[in-house]
């Protein structure tokens, strides 16, 4: 008898296809659960057929022919004891005409329609009835598959797996009892071969106990593998950056002294949490979460200084060049007076400058390195890296899986920053290996932003509003990102710039977009920060990080094209000063249902958490998490919205298994994760 975990298949072409479907081991087949069922257990008399419904009939063919009007087709006239019906085929083989000739007995299954020829079925599935053609007694499962892999083949393979694999339940009996869960074998058998008396609906909506068991196990396996990842991390080595209070003379202390403001209570709390991690001998994996403008950068700077205080290097990475630049300017302003050597590394540097930067980083003379994700990951070797801070803006946890080169077996601590809060269910599942700190308080003196939604037909009015605003404040005018065409996007920006320049003359209008050379971008930003430029036309390059407190009005064109997280980020560019800020979302009707929901959410809420929850709801976890880039193994069966109660229970169960039932842990992971653990490696 093959043991669990061994490949069930050799490398024949069909097996390669099965492997593409994720079907390699016996367990994989058993966990390849039906997407729906067909009820072939009953036969309906022709007289009882209801148009629009699926049905199965057993009939005798009275007459069969090929007709040519209105087009070539095969017509079978059939009858049972209760009436007559027509079966119609547009595509058919001559052999079928022969096989289903007058006098033959067949079973047909299809949708009943009232048609040109009276009540009929078009392209029903036909089974010729022979000696032993008894009806199936269980619902017929339908599996997800691909071209070249017929349902019957999958069904047979699953039945084979049932007979070959000894299904040992890895859940201790006390847990099955406590949660009233069905045994694994019984659940799998029920789902693959549901007896006909089962309510089809309970299978379809997955509320049946057999489904509940499967969903629980899936969540349990996820909890187990995440916890194992945490255990593995705790066994790895990172520099101990000890010291919960800064000793006199440390950079941390000096920095706190020169900072022109006090840390908020929330900032102080998260700083303590981070310090707590940095003094451990294993790598920190912490997510620093805080709404746009909550002051994450200061915390990042503090963490970097803690590493530098212990003679380690720190690196700060941002997703885009303009954001990296913002960080660089702000942090360099703060830290250069302390005598910290900061290196700057992005794609737009000249080759010679890059080489120079890489050199000072490798030698260790640069203490803090700031740049873009991609560049630093790929091209840089550090003398002695103690901490990596990764700014992800509105993604999270993803870079956690980044590979930063280890040196001498020592790994850096990792701090990720995100403005998008992780909804609770996701925090408990996909990110269970991540410690989370939250800045849940904005620095003092912020005023709430008023958000208005208007149609583009009111553009002239909006422009007048902009004109009036420029006398006392400054304005962002945002044109939408066009992913398919950067050229089109640029054209939009140029058009808006030309229009506003002429309509608003002589008010100075500026333009900033992603294609501009870095120096030019900087010159425009400087003029905007200095107040010479009153209206800044921008593509979404300003989405992240830009910090100009005197800009208090934002107009977003075609707001319906933006995602929620993006709108929230953009809007976060205003409301940074003391003046009342306004954000105007312009849209072109008609709106899709989700676009309408998004704009409404923006109008009603300024809370990043609420917006994020709505975003998750509108997009679903796969897209929300950017699963493809992150390599996260998504849940196949459990639905976090519906199965919330199982998440908590799976967590408790995982804890118990890990402490008291180690062998059960392995068995469960083997079933569910066999060969796929790499997805979850942190």
| Dihedral-angle region of residue 249 (phi above 0 means left; psi in -120 to 50 means alpha; beta otherwise) | left
**Per-residue CA distances from 48 to 85, 498, 556 (Å):** 12, 70, 59
Q: Whose structure tokens read 């890296």?
A: 385
Tell which positions 532-571 bind Mg ion, by CB under 5 A.
545
Q: In the bound complex, what is the minimum distance in angstroms from residue 326's beta carbon to Mg ion?
A: 8
Residue nearest to ligand ADP (CB): 295
Contact at 8 Å (CB) between 598 and 563? yes
Q: How far is the CB of 316 from Mg ion (least distance, A)?
A: 11
Decide whether 34 or 545 has the Cβ nearer to Mg ion: 545
Q: How far apart are CA 12 and CA 6, in angstroms?
A: 17
Q: Closest approach of Cβ 445 to ligand ADP, in Å?
A: 7
**Minimum distance, C-beta of residue 404 to ligand ADP, in the bound complex (Å):** 22
Contact 213, 181 (CB under 8 A): yes
The residue count for binding Mg ion (CB under 5 A) is 1
Nearer to ligand ADP, 290 or 480 (CB): 290
Of residues 634, 616, 642, 623, the one with CA closest to residue 205 = 642
Closer residue to ligand ADP in complex, CB, 221/387: 387
Q: What span, in angstroms and rounded, lies between the C-alpha atoms of 396 and 287? A: 8
Residue 359: both structure tokens together: 């050199």
Residue number with CB closer to ligand ADP (297 or 306): 297
Smaller CB distance to ligand ADP: residue 267 or 601? 267
Which does residue 322 bind out of ligand ADP, Mg ion, none, counting CB within 5 to 8 angstroms by kind?
A: none
As given in the structure block, the two tokens for residue 670 are 């083997």
Measured between alpha carbons, how far is 155 from 179 in angstroms, rounded to an integer? 31
Measured from the CB atom, the residue of 34 and 473 that comes closer to ligand ADP is 473
Angle, alpha carbons 221-172-5 (nearest 5°):
50
- The smaller minimum CB distance to ligand ADP, of residues 295 and 423, is found at 295
Count the Cβ atoms, other than its own, within 10 Å of residue 485: 10
Residue 464 partner contact from ligand ADP, Mg ion, none using kind-dependent CB cut-offs of 5 to 8 Å: none
Q: Which residues pair with 112 in a beta bridge?
A: 121
Q: How far is the CB of 406 from ligand ADP (least distance, A)?
A: 29
> Half-sphere exposure of residue 598, counting CA atoms within 13 Å on the CB side?
23
**Measured from the CB of residue 259, what is the shortest distance to ligand ADP in angstroms?**
8
Task: Tell me which of Mg ion, ligand ADP, none is bound by residue 292, counting a contact when its beta carbon lies within the kind-specific cut-off of 5 to 8 angstroms.
Answer: ligand ADP
* Of residues 357-416, those binding Mg ion (CB under 5 A): none
CB of 183 to ligand ADP, least distance (A): 50
Q: Closest approach of Cβ 439 to ligand ADP, in Å?
A: 7
For binding to ligand ADP (CB under 6 A), which residues are involved? 261-264, 267, 290, 292-298, 419, 443, 547
Select from ligand ADP, Mg ion, none the partner in contact with residue 443, using the beta carbon and a kind-dependent cut-off of 5 to 8 Å: ligand ADP
String of DSSP letters for 398-454: SGGG--PPPBTTB--EEEEEESSPPPHHHHHTTTTTSEEEEE-SPPTT--PEEEEEE
Tell which positions 282-341 bind Mg ion, by CB under 5 A. none
Residue number with CB closer to Mg ion (394 or 534): 394
Tell me which residues touch Mg ion (CB under 5 A). Answer: 545
């Amino acid at each position: 008898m093959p043991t669990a975990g061994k490949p069930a298949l050799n490398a024949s072409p069909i097996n390669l296809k099965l492997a593409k479907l994720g079907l390699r081991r016996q367990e994989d087949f058993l966990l390849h659960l039906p997407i729906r069922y067909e009820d072939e257990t009953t036969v309906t008399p022709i007289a009882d057929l209801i148009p629009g419904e699926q049905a199965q009939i057993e009939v005798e063919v009275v007459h069969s022919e090929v007709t040519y009007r209105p087009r070539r087709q095969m017509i079978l006239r059939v009858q049972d004891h209760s009436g007559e019906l027509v079966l119609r085929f547009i595509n058919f083989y001559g052999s079928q005409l022969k096989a289903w000739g007058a006098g033959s007995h067949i079973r047909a299954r299809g949708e009943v329609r009232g048609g040109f020829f009276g009540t009929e079925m078009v392209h029903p599935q036909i089974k010729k009835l022979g000696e032993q053609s008894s009806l199936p007694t269980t619902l017929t499962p339908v599996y997800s598959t691909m071209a070249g892999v017929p349902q019957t083949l999958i069904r047979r393979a699953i039945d084979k797996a049932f007979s070959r694999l000894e299904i040992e339940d890895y859940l201790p009996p006390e847990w099955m009892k406590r949660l009233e869960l069905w045994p694994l074998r019984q659940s799998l058998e029920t789902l693959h071969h549901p007896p006909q008396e089962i309510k089809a609906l309970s299978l379809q909506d997955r509320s049946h106990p057999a489904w509940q068991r499967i969903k629980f196990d899936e969540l349990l396996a996820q909890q187990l593998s995440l916890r194992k990842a945490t255990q593995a991390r705790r066994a790895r080595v990172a520099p101990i950056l000890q010291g919960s209070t800064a000793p006199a003379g440390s950079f941390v202390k000096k920095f706190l002294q020169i900072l022109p403001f006090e840390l908020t209570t929330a900032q102080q709390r998260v700083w303590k949490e981070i310090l707590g991690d940095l003094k451990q001998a294993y790598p920190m994996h912490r997510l620093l979460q805080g709404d746009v403008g909550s002051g994450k950068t200061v915390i990042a700077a503090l963490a970097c200084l803690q590493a530098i205080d212990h003679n380690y290097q720190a690196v700060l990475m941002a997703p885009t060049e303009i954001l990296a630049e913002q960080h660089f300017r702000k942090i360099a302003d703060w830290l250069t007076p302390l005598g910290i050597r900061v290196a700057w590394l992005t794609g737009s540097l000249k080759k010679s400058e890059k080489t120079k930067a890489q050199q000072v980083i490798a030698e260790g003379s640069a203490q803090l390195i700031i740049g873009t994700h991609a560049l630093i990951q790929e091209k840089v070797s550090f003398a002695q890296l103690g901490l990596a801070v990764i700014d992800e803006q509105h993604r999270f946890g993803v870079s956690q899986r980044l590979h930063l080169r280890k040196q001498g077996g020592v790994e850096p601590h990792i701090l990720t920053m995100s403005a998008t809060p992780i909804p609770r269910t996701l925090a408990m599942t996909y990110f269970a290996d991540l410690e989370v700190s939250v800045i849940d308080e904005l620095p003092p003196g912020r005023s709430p932003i008023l958000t208005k939604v208007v149609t583009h037909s009111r553009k002239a009015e909006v422009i007048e509003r902009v004109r009036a605003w420029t006398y006392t404040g400054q304005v962002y005018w945002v044109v939408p990102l066009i992913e398919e065409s950067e050229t089109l996007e640029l054209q939009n920006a140029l058009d808006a710039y030309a229009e506003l320049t002429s309509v608003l003359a002589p008010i100075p209008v500026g333009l900033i977009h992603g294609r501009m050379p870095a120096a030019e971008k900087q010159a425009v930003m400087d003029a905007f920060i200095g107040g010479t430029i009153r209206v800044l036309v921008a593509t979404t390059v300003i989405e992240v990080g830009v910090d100009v407190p005197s800009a208090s009005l934002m107009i977003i064109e075609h707001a319906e094209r933006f995602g929620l997280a993006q709108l929230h980020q953009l809007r976060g560019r205003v409301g940074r000063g003391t003046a009342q800020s306004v954000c105007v979302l312009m849209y072109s009707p008609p709106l899709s249902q989700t676009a309408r929901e998004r704009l409404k959410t923006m109008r009603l809420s300024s809370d990043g958490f609420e917006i994020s929850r709505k975003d998750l709801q509108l997009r679903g976890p796969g897209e929300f998490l950017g699963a493809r880039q992150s390599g996260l193994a998504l849940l196949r069966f459990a639905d976090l919205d519906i199965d919330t109660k199982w998440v908590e229970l799976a967590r408790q169960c995982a804890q118990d298994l890990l402490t008291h039932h180690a062998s059960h842990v392995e068995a469960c992971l083997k079933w569910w994760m066999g060969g796929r653990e790499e997805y979850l490696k942190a």
